[in-house]
Structure 1
Amino acid sequence: MAMNTYSQKFAALAAGVALSALAVQAQEASEAGSAELRQETVIVTSRAQQLYRVEQTTTGKMPTDPMLSTQAITVINSELIEDQGARDAQDLYRNISGVSVFSYAGVTARGYRQEENFFDGLRGDPYAGFSVPQLFNVERVEFLKGPAGMLYGAGAPGGLFNYVTKTPSEEFAASVSGVVGTEGRKGASLEVTGALPLEGTAGRLGIFYEDQHGPRRNAGSETNIYDGGLSFDLGFADLVLQATRYEQKLDGNRLRGVPTDDLGNFIADRRWNHNEPTDFLDLESNVLQARVTAEPVEGLAVDFGIRWNDGTEVQNYHEPFGLFDSDGDGVVDSSRRQYRDQLRQTESLSLGTNAVWSADLGPVQNRVLVGGDWFTSDAGFTGVSFAGGTTAEPGFPTPLSLLDPQYGETDSTTYLLPPMRITESRQTRYGVYALNEATIGPVIAVVGVRQDTFEDKNLISGDVFEDDAMTWRAGLVYRVRDDVSLFGQWAESFEPQGIGSQNPLAGGPFQPTEGEILEGGVKTDLFGGRVQSTGSVYQIIRTNILQADPRGDVDGDGVDDMVAFGEITSEGFEIDVTTDITENWVGTISYAYNDTRITRTNSQTNLSNAVGDRFANAPENTVGFWTRYQVPILHTAFAFGGDYVDVRRSISGQKVRPYMTFDASIICEIDDWKALLRIDNLFDETYASSGFIDRTGHFPGDPRSVFLEVTRQW
């Protein structure tokens, strides 16, 4: 679709936002007389006006008012997380235009698969690839859209998540919560923060426990998070120390999908599970983190952070390994299975530092950012895979019926397992960057550059690959008025090719994959902040993608060659709106249109996750909304939300049907007590959240669930 068509769509939707804003303004007068009543409500006065507001973002490395940023950043604060009863990151995607589920912690962001997460601006994800980030100790979630290579180094071009964690406060606050719900759900949590006896010192303690049966057969989840922190006012600087322990015990995991036909209809019950009751996924991660902030001289702000993570993930599970017709009636009704015993261990260390100098240079308000970061990670894998056939044989995994699964007929302790496979690798990444932001009247101009060096090493074979990359970004903001800004940006990203693809015999080494964005849009903060919106059109081009050389072994050295020739183009339009409809009624809505296509290939081999000229799990249209209405006289708020994801294709090309789900919350606050009644998938829609490959099927969305959480606050 041509870019001018996006512009037309943007103009139409922006006009709709403006009309909504005018309606809000017209309503103000009729509500003026109720101001005195609002002052007496137990639910905080005018809370709706500030409920989901964010005054500042930090993911751009410098604290910035969203209206003044050249980037599109979606921020989900603690109030929205609490109102939606969100427990993990997947519960929040509806609030971020252009983001939908791919698999596990991975998402599709502006058409591209994205899996890496940052915590407090640093690498070191405590959740190994098959666990979704939990939100108990998270203050807010920021998603920076588009390539971010100049700020964060290597990464996917669709964007990145930054989880901002909770830190100690000298102001005392405490809460105790208990939760019960369907699927045997039960849990409790404790949080307390406040000043400590030593002057200038504060502490924080958080404990979270939740256990429930999963909606899939044999599946279950037990999560424990222990989180503590200390903050010190050193006079010349502030120091924050944090320690967190994560434990997840997932029964009947690692969960794959449920098989479907080519039209996307499940051919087994959505609760079908390929795993035995004895299968499991256990995750343990320990995180230590420190951050120092200081202002050594007026106008100069400096920060330094360090993050250490040590994680272990153990998995024993039965992988679906091929569908078949067991009785010869022409209907697929069973699945072969492969048993996998896997151990993953990761230890990483991440450091980052920034210095921001602010000064007026004549008529120019100037901010200069310089910084650097360093990251190293040692990863070890020990695993074995062992497949069974279409009939039950001693010492082999038995097949499993799709229609009448019988569990417990196979015993993994009797399997004739082959030797374990062991791999060990080390990643090292470091970069330095500089950025200048100049403000002259209504114009803000930004330009930045970063130099990265990276090294990948196979610790067993000794193979090493190292290279470097330079990335740029530039942006412009024009403030039409204090409450309307036009913005645009150009930015780059890169991702090193995997060390397994750098074999000189296959044509390596290869340059990193590169991404480039052109984006423009408008941001509003109308009627004293009662209508905030961001709308943008963009084009992202990803190049230098490896694929098999159709000529095969070009040099006659016995190894088939690769060629870096692939190109993908993502074009789209997004709009996010948060508005106070009345003093007691707030709403958010996010819409995204995306068209991602393969625009260059060698025409004889497929790119990873390609389905024809498109990509797996990349919907054209997504819509998410959330609205909350509070009734002060009842001390209660009612909230309702929806999530629509357009038709997609799985990696195997099977249809993933579009879906629309709805959720609701009732929040009651009386004095220091708060109760949240949460209903997910209100109308019990049967749907697939994403697709994978045909032998493992689509990931089923959860059926309707309900929980009640009661909290006492001090």
Structure 2
Amino acid sequence: MSPGRAALLAGLSLLLALPLRAQAEDVDRDVVALSKFEVVGTRPQASDATALKLSTTVLDTPRSVTVFDASRLREQDIQTGGDLLFWVPGLNTNGAVQESYHFYARGYRMVPNDWRVDGFAGRVVGGSYSPNLFGVEQVSILKGPAGLLYGATSSPGGMINLVSKKPRDVASTTIETRVRTFGGGEVPLADRWSNEVELDTTGPVTADARLRYRALASLERSALAAESPADDNQFYRLAFSYKLDAAGRFDLTPSYEWTREDRAQRAPTISPASSRTTADGRTDYTFADVNSRSVNLVAGGRVDTNRTWGADLAANLTSVWKANVGFRYIDRDYVNDAYALNTATLRQTNAADPRAWVVSRRHSRAANTYRTTSFDASTTYEFRPAAWAKSLLQLGVNGRRNLNTTASSGNGADQSPVNIYTGVAAAPLVANAPALVPGNRTDTFTANAYAQSQTEFFGRTVLTLGFGTARDRSRTTTPAGVVTEPPDRKSSLTPNVALLHRLTKNLSVYASYSTSYSLPDSTYEDVTGRTGAFDPIEGENYEVGAKAALWDELVAASLSVFDTELNGVLVQSQVNELNPNGNRFYRQMDNGRKARGVEAEFTVSPIKAWDTTFTYAYIDAFDRGSTAALPDTPAEMTPRHAVSAYSRYAITQGRFEGLSFRAGVIWQSERWAASRTPTAPDPLLLESFHRIDAGLGYVYRGWRFALSIENITNEYYLLAGSTGVAFSPVNPRSYALRVSRTW
């Protein structure tokens, strides 16, 4: 540990005993019967508990935060987590928005555990599709590291927390139906109909409302892939909240969720004339000969079944002492039975026919289980040691046990060549995957403990300080019963510090230093042959910003400037460079990814029923390079500039009262499909693109009608694509109609 880090941690330890800021009053968000026209954009007075695990307003949070509420998710017809990434400054998708659980935050590729549900990981696992937003009340997006409160993570870019709908005191029931179809370019109108029916009901069970309930259900058939069975998805959730005492100081919320997602296999789009290797010197591509999005080249699919049991206890032990305890058990089964393309078999059967390209398919199967048990407990204590200071001390611990098993078949022999333009196959597909072979069983446990404080001085300046530590252990059992249990891994103390100053009641400025960490494999050897000698790989983030709600919220704005870097990256020695044990070894180097940039979001509301939100992100992200040949390589899937604008106007009186209009546009500059490496120095350079969306809405006596049109101009561009045999194009124009009734 560096002397500067040690001094900082010592200072934090002392300051944790100082007066701390009182926890902000909870914002009353228990409105079930939503007003006719809700505001859009991240409002500084909105409450968020993700960034600091404290119920704090966005205005008083010394980090970059974007908040989406349920009304905007519904209004823009945002169905999956990937759909909303374009509208968040600093974030970007990893590919087709319905398919990929990966996302990029500030230039860093984030992993499944960076999607949280009520602060818990495990609902999204490796290989998942983008998470469905069924039953989500709010989406809170934190930019920058979250290692202090949430534990180890591989990248410091950010975290997305999906806040579930909770039982309410006021009775309300909503039934909603939705239909969607594509219609643009080579995809004819009324192609691939999707439909969905949802039920959301909540209210008191007892007359005194001490016991409340919330039940949600959704049946969805989503036709995304051409000429293939629609995805058949089911979602059910039941939750109760019970005030254990008449005063309501203890509130217990048990819940159960069951989901089944039956998804068809997706196929990449192929362009035979485009670059098909990553070492041919080409970074361009062409749309002149891509296969049509109206043709299906694959078959089969996968089924994910998820069962989640949970409970949350909120306790007001005294007027100044509070505690929260949460538990989740997630039982997930994944079964894959798919016929995927083997793009290496792409060939032209007739040299004289430019549309005589065929590709073979291969059958594979897998069956995995994921069992995740998590807990999260924290307590806060408030006190006032002086008239000019008030304080809040927070202590917390969280942990997660993952028990995973795998079984796979490998690939069957290539078969059934299919023309990529017509979809005509040379022979029917046959099941030829080998038998399933059990894989390893892995059992891991991670725990994270932290202490955090907030100190408010003179009602203006807020100092936030904290540090945490983590421990990790794992055990692997092979099918033959051989057990491998490496030494436990542990982190050094990880500090966070932030300073926020309220220039006025509605204008604040802040500066923060935050960290993330990942624990290195304890079996890795260093140059001397030692194991367990490496420090955690650490992400560090420096950020300054401002937040404001001006002129009676005529303008709501936030601005952040950040510098994030990944240090202590483990780099393996060359094949001929061995340590005294005769093994290749690792060096720990500060040569990981670095990102710096600006994020801005502001909403203008010139009149009550007209809101327009603008976002802008400038990100300069690059790999500092493990080799001298490729220094400062630009980060993949990260545009230098990204802009979005979303505007909604509603008529609030007169003959057309209840009618609303909305429009949105996104634009991104060019971005690299992958990072350059010595063996693949020429990934595709994806061109800049824009997309225009629009919609109409109407509200009348509990009825809601909404028409959404996405990609109005039917632009054709790539969301991702490593080579010409792995394109991921945008969806064609689509139309969605929602009808709901609330009483």
Task: State the TM-score, normalized to the length of structure 1.
Answer: 0.86
Superposed, 1:67-78 pairs within 5 Å as 67-78=59-70
Structure 2 unaligned spans of 5+: 1-32, 182-191, 276-282, 675-679
Aligned match of 1:567: 592
Aligned match of 1:29: none
Change (3 A) 1:126 1:521: closer
1:269 is aligned to 2:291: yes
Matches of 2:229 and 2:732, distance apart in 1: 14
Q: Is the 8 A contact 1:124 1:307 kept in 2?
A: no
Of residues 615-624 and 333-342 in structure 1, the stretch that sits farther from structure 2 once superposed is 333-342
Q: Is the 8 A contact 1:99 1:107 kept in 2?
A: yes
Tell me the C-alpha RMSD between the 2 structures: 2.8
Secondary structure in structure 2 of the residue aligned to 1:529: coil
Change (3 A) 1:248 1:273: farther
Superposed, 1:79-158 pairs within 5 Å as 79-103=71-95, 104-115=100-111, 116=113, 117-126=115-124, 129-155=127-153, 156-158=155-157
Among 592, 615, 620, which residue is 2:617 paired with? 592
Alpha-carbon shift at residue 384 of structure 1 (Å): 2.5
Q: Which amino acid counterpart does residue 139 of structure 1 have in structure 2?
A: E
Aligned match of 2:410: 385
Q: Is the 8 A contact 1:126 1:287 kept in 2?
A: no
Among 527, 538, 547, which residue is 1:514 paired with? 538
Alpha-carbon shift at residue 373 of structure 1 (Å): 0.4
Secondary structure in structure 2 of the residue aligned to 1:151: helix
Secondary structure in structure 1 of the residue aligned to 2:56: coil
Among 636, 642, 648, which residue is 1:622 paired with? 642
Aligned match of 2:311: 290
Change (3 A) 1:79 1:500: farther
Aligned match of 2:12: none
Number of aligned positions between the proteins: 657
Alpha-carbon shift at residue 78 of structure 1 (Å): 1.0
Secondary structure in structure 2 of the residue aligned to 1:76: strand
Matches of 1:408 and 1:672, distance apart in 2: 55
Change (3 A) 1:577 1:645: same
Aligned match of 1:314: 335
Aligned match of 2:21: none
Aligned match of 1:187: 196
Change (3 A) 1:419 1:301: closer
Aligned match of 2:301: 280
Matches of 2:625 and 2:203, distance apart in 1: 57
**Cα deviations across residues 16-51 of structure 1 (Å, max 9, x unaligned)?**
xxxxxxxxxxxxxxxxxxxxxxxxxx9947744899
Q: Is the 8 A contact 1:246 1:286 kept in 2?
A: yes
Matches of 1:504 and 1:342, distance apart in 2: 39
**Cα deviations across residues 654-676 of structure 1 (Å, max 9, x unaligned)?**
12222111111211000111111
Aligned match of 1:12: none
Among 19, 30, 47, which residue is 1:56 paired with? 47
Secondary structure in structure 1 of the residue aligned to 2:74: helix
Q: Is the 8 A contact 1:54 1:75 kept in 2?
A: no
Change (3 A) 1:520 1:424: same
Alpha-carbon shift at residue 86 of structure 1 (Å): 1.2
1:483 is aligned to 2:510: no
Aligned match of 1:171: 170
Matches of 1:690 and 1:530, distance apart in 2: 38
Among 422, 427, 437, which residue is 1:420 paired with? 437
More helix as a share of residues: 1
Matches of 1:562 and 1:319, distance apart in 2: 37
Superposed, 1:421-570 pairs within 5 Å as 422-441=439-458, 442-460=460-478, 461-465=482-486, 466-469=488-491, 470-497=493-520, 509=532, 510-555=534-579, 560-565=584-589, 566-570=591-595
Among 676, 690, 693, which residue is 1:660 paired with? 690
1:201 is aligned to 2:211: yes
Among 683, 698, 711, which residue is 2:727 paired with? 698
Matches of 1:213 and 1:506, distance apart in 2: 55
Matches of 2:553 and 2:474, distance apart in 1: 48
**Cα deviations across residues 643-701 of structure 1 (Å, max 9, x unaligned)?**
2222112236112222111111211000111111111111111122223x327512221
Q: Which amino acid counterpart does residue 601 of structure 1 have in structure 2?
A: S
Q: Is the 8 A contact 1:204 1:228 kept in 2?
A: yes
Q: Is the 8 A contact 2:333 2:368 kept in 1?
A: yes
Of residues 256-265 and 481-490 in structure 1, the stretch that sits farther from structure 2 once superposed is 256-265
Superposed, 1:614-653 pairs within 5 Å as 614-632=634-652, 633=654, 634=656, 635-651=658-674, 653=683
**Cα deviations across residues 39-81 of structure 1 (Å, max 9, x unaligned)?**
xxx9947744899675211002011111111111111111111
Alpha-carbon shift at residue 625 of structure 1 (Å): 1.7
Alpha-carbon shift at residue 546 of structure 1 (Å): 3.2
Change (3 A) 1:81 1:296: same
Matches of 1:553 and 1:274, distance apart in 2: 48
Aligned match of 1:30: none
Secondary structure in structure 2 of the residue aligned to 1:617: coil
Alpha-carbon shift at residue 126 of structure 1 (Å): 4.8
Structure 1 unaligned spans of 5+: 1-41, 389-395
**Cα deviations across residues 521-543 of structure 1 (Å, max 9, x unaligned)?**
11111112231111111110102
Secondary structure in structure 2 of the residue aligned to 1:61: coil
Q: Is the 8 A contact 1:319 1:340 kept in 2?
A: no
Q: Is the 8 A contact 1:281 1:313 kept in 2?
A: yes
Q: Which amino acid counterpart does residue 628 of structure 1 have in structure 2?
A: R
Aligned match of 1:16: none
Matches of 2:332 and 2:261, distance apart in 1: 11
Aligned match of 1:242: 255
**Cα deviations across residues 551-572 of structure 1 (Å, max 9, x unaligned)?**
5451386754444334221111
Alpha-carbon shift at residue 479 of structure 1 (Å): 1.4
* Percentage of identical aligned residues: 18
Matches of 1:353 and 1:685, distance apart in 2: 48
Change (3 A) 1:500 1:102: farther
Change (3 A) 1:173 1:43: closer
**Cα deviations across residues 217-260 of structure 1 (Å, max 9, x unaligned)?**
42632221011111101114100111111111112x15445455
Q: Is the 8 A contact 1:594 1:621 kept in 2?
A: yes
**Cα deviations across residues 612-636 of structure 1 (Å, max 9, x unaligned)?**
7122212111112211000123111
Matches of 2:160 and 2:606, distance apart in 1: 29
Secondary structure in structure 1 of the residue aligned to 2:237: strand
Q: Which amino acid counterpart does residue 513 of structure 1 have in structure 2?
A: I
